[in-house]
Amino acid sequence: DIQMTQSPSSLSASVGDTVTITCRASQSISSYLNWYQQKPGKAPKLLIYAASSLQSGVPSRFSGSGSGTDFTLTISSLQPEDFATYYCQQSYSTPGTFGQGTKLEIK
C-alpha cells in the first residue's frame, strides 16, 4: 500500500490567516491526490481532487497543488467554518489510502 503522511498533525490559526497543510506520498502518485474536510460528527466532504481541481460548491479560498510525492492544501483567509480536520487521499492505486489527518483549531 502507498503510505500518506500529513504534516502537521495539528495546527492553530486565527480567522483571516492563511494556512498550508502538507501531504507526502511514499512513492510517486502523479497528481492523483484528493483532499477532504471533516467536521466533528459529520461525514467527510470532498474539497479538492486531482491535486488542484476544486470540487463544485467549494469556496475558492481552498486550493491545492503538487505532483509526484509532495502536495499542499492552502486555505486563504480562514473563516470560522474552516476549523475542522483535513485528510489527503491518494487515488493512484488501490487501496486509496488516506493520510492520518490534520486538525485545524482556532487560536
Partner 1 sequence: EVQLVQSGAEVKKPGESLKISCKGSGYSFTSYWIGWVRQMPGKGLEWMGIIYPGDSDTRYSPSFQGQVTISADKSINTAYLQWSSLKASDTAMYYCARLPCGGDCYSQERYFDYWGQGTLVTVSS
Interface residues toward partner 1, by CB under 8 A = 1, 30-32, 34, 36, 38, 43-46, 49-50, 55, 87, 89, 91-101
Q: Which residue's CB is nearer to partner 1, number 72 or number 98?
A: 98
State how far the Cα of 15 lies from the Cα of 19, in Å rounded to an integer.
Answer: 10
**Least spacing, CB of residue 71 vs partner 1, in Å:** 13
State how far the Cα of 96 lies from the Cα of 60, in Å rounded to an integer.
Answer: 26
Q: Which residue's CB is nearer to partner 1, number 1 or number 70?
A: 1
Determine if the peptide bond prior to 59 is cis (ω within 30°): no
**Least spacing, CB of residue 78 vs partner 1, in Å:** 22
**Least spacing, CB of residue 2 vs partner 1, in Å:** 11
| CA proximity to 71, closest of 33, 15, 14 | 33
Q: Which residue's CB is nearer to partner 1, number 78 or number 99?
A: 99
Grid cell digits, residue 79? 473563516
* Phi and psi angles of residue 5, each rounded to the nearest 5 degrees, phi first: -125, 120
